[in-house]
Structure formats: structure tokens, C-alpha cells
Chains A and B, each alone.
Chain A
Amino acid sequence: MIAVRRIRPLGLLALAVLLAAGVLGCANAGNGAAGSFSSRTPNTLTVATAQVPDPGFWQGTIAHPSGGFEWELAKRLASHFGLAKVKVVEVPFQALVHGHLGGADLALSDITITEPREQYLDFSTPYLKAPPAIVVRPGTEVADVDAARHLRWAVQNETTLKEALEKQIEPTTKTLVFEHQSEKLEALRDGRVDAVLLDLPVALAYARESPSKYAVAAQLPSEAELGAALPSGSDNTEAVDSALRALQSEGEIDRLAHRWLHADYEEGGAEGVPVLRTEE
């Protein structure tokens, strides 16, 4: 006679949970608790950026990046997703903020998270505070917003900095508008303009690299933050968010900021750079 053992309630419950979890697990195959990342190219994280080199953020060339905050961040993200390689593609900033990532999985390019840009892109959780900073030639002083208003300004088109200049500073003279960051910096160097706006970490990196050419005079009050940009509707956003939170909780992002940007951005800006009080 075969002895039939009585099934215990716990056994039944465990079986039910296991079956249900199995079905759900199959339906969401590979979707871990922190979200799953699926790269466009096998075993490779493809990252788009607007400009290499970009002091503090990208060093070397597009083909051979050698350092910088966002390059190292890209490598950490790839490692987090178990991808062996990182490939970098160069895409103009205006194209990036309109959702054209040049076939990349994501973009790391000092992109400020804004609502208008969210029409074209999905943004990750922010990884760096980036208030606008006023960059001048050494010796130029900007005591207050009124003094800033009377300077001659250059700004890059399609950037949050252009909006900040128009709303927070409201220059009294006509602003020169350029398509590329390098052009407005050139205008500052050759004296066509007195000041430009850059994201604070970028501004500090330029000033550190070329102290004879650039000085950071002040920063503007802002909650602007940089984030990774992904194609709109991307299934990878959850995974990138979780990875960035993990890197933040491990202190890795702070370490990278300290290593490449030489500043502690925890509290929203580099200490020692005065904040201009504006009405906006």
C-alpha cells in the first residue's frame, strides 16, 4: 500500500506562491527587482555625448576616452549591468536634447533635466547638482545681479543656461547666441563678450584647467541637476535609476566628483563661489 502523506497548509501556500511567482517570473523574464538593462549592442554600453574633450567630464578623444566624471560614470554603469565594453558616440547637443541619441543606449553630456526636454527623452534620477555659473575673464568682478546685467553676454542655443540668462539676469545689451559651447568660450577669450553661463561643475573644471583664461565669478540660485538621458519610453530607465541610486549610496558618485571635479556637490554647489541673489 502506498502511504499518502498529508499536505500541510504551509506546503500548499509555498507551492501556490512558487507557482504564481514562476508564472510572473516567466512573464517578466530577466526583469530583476531593480529593473533590467538591455543594451542595443551585445555586451556593450553605448553612450552618446556632445563633446570630447570636455574638461572634468570627458578626457581624451571620442575613440579613446581617457578619464573624466561622465566617462568613469559610464564605465561604472556598464560594470553594474554586467557589460564588458563602453562605446562612445559624438552627437551634437541640440540633437541630443531633441531625443536623437545616435543609436546610443543613453547620453551622458551635462544634460540638465527639464520638463520641455522630457517630451523627447526619458531622464534618469539626477547624478549631479548643476546651478548656472557666471564665467568671466580673470579680473572681472560681478558684485551683484545689477552689475551682471550690464555685462556683454554670450550663450549657447537650446540650453537651460539661455533661459537662466534671460530670466534671472536680463542683460541690458544684446546677447550673442552660439550653437556650440566652444564658440561662446572663444568669444569670452577674445573679448567680444564679458561673461558666459556654464553649469557650475563645468565652469569650475574650465577655470581649473585654464586659470589665466577663465574665472568663476558667481553662481545663480537654481535647483538644476544633470541626469542621464535615455530614448523616450526606454525600458532601461528603471535599471539606470537603480544603478545610479546604488552608486550614490555606495559613495561612488561623490568619489568620482571629488576625483574629476575636485569639489563636493552634496550640498548643491561648490563652496566659495558666491550665490547672486536674483528675483527669479
Chain B
Amino acid sequence: MSPLQRLGRWIGNHLILAGGLLVLIYTFIPIAVVVLMSFNQPKSKLIYRFDSFTLQNWLHPCADPSMCHAVSRSIQIGLLATVAATILGTLMAFALVRHRFEGRSAANLVIFMPMASPEIVMGSSLLALFVASGFGGQLGFFTILIAHIMFCLSFVVVTVRARLAGLDNNLEQAAMDLYATESETFRRITLPLVFPGILGAALLSFSLSFDDFIITNLNAGNTTTFPMYVWGVAQRGVPMQVNVVGTLMFVVSIAIVLGVEINRRRQEKALV
């Protein structure tokens, strides 16, 4: 290898890593702004820039009570949608991985389509359905919940299915060989092994539901979720407490991801 080539390869090696790190840093810039602005005391409600440091936003997160109502409504909807979507989606994933049946490809298509459709189209279709079936006046909590379960479902199926497909069948066979009944095998072998996938799917569902704006906004009526609250205040002056919620969302999800990872490593060590 000539020195020139070696130099080229060295640059290639480190240039790509440096480029990757730059892209990564770029994705964190707005997060830094969110954290910074959560400590901001704005001079005017209409000018969105950092003026001076304060802890007031963190001490009084509910200075605007309607924001806290919106957050708690988002959490309620998120939890209910997560539970429903995770149960329905896990059942579907089991059917798709463990069973052969007619209409399989149709089922796969219907599960795939919500992930490949623009949200604005799904949102307006649902709205058209609700209005056509006479529920146009009752848009609110339940119509949002219905929509959220619908779009979380596919993501749950895909996540659990991936985990289930990667499972080692031999473990279940071994349990059966050792005279475990079908339900014992399921409870003590299959479920614990699939559980990380189910947990991941649930976390994904919650964050999808909590963060959804486009579908929710079309089907919400007068109900306000947190993203809709932010949308509203974006036109008329953003209270800095919005950034407190943003920072908290970031910190809590990082803590959950790290917790899951540490737990996994500990279990792996325990096995060795």
C-alpha cells in the first residue's frame, strides 16, 4: 500500500466517523435549546429568545393550568392507547409468527399500510368516518383514543413480531420434552423471552401517542392534548414551561432506555 493510499484510508476512516458525530451533534442542538429555554425568563411573551436565567419555570410548571391539563390528558390517552394497542398487537404478532393461515398476506398488508400512509390522510379518513356515522359532534377524548390505538397497533405488531421471529424454538421444545404443558411453557419460557419486545412496543406506543399532532388535531373537537396546546401557543406566545415539559420528556425517556439497558446487561452477567 502506497503512503498516499494509506493517508487516503486514514482520512476515510476518521472522516466518516467525524461526519457521523457531526450529524449526531446536529440532532442534539434543538434539545440543548429546549433545556436552555426551560431556564429562561423572557422579557416579552411575544419574543422567543433567551433573556435571563430563572428557576421559576421549573418551580411553577403549572403557571398556565391549561398546559398541565393538556399534559395530563395526553398521559391518560397515551396510557390507555398503549395498553390497548400492546395487547391487540401482541396477539396479532403471535398469530403471524406462530401460525400459518389463509389471508396471511392480506393481514400483513393491512398491518403495514398505516405505517406507509401519511398521517394527514389517516386523520382525514377517520374524521370523514366519524362525521358520516353521526359522531361529528362528539369528537373528543374517545375519538382521539380510537385513532391512537389504530396507529400504534401496527408498530406494536412489527416490534413484537421481530422479537418473536428471532426466538430460539429449541427452548420451548426442551420445556415440552420435560413434560411442561403448553400453558406452562408459554408462561415460563415464551412470555419471559418475548417480554423485552412487548415492553419496547409499549414504550414506542406511548411516545407515538403522546407526541401525535396531525391525526389528533383533526379528530379532537374541543379536547386539547399537549401537542395541540403547543400548536395553540405557538401563534400567541409560548410560555417557557413548554420547554420544561420538553426537557422532562427527554430526561424520562433517556432514564427508561438506560434502565432497560442496564437491567439487560445485569441479566446477561447473571446468566454467565
Is B truly associated with A? no
On A, residues with C-beta under 8 Å from B are none
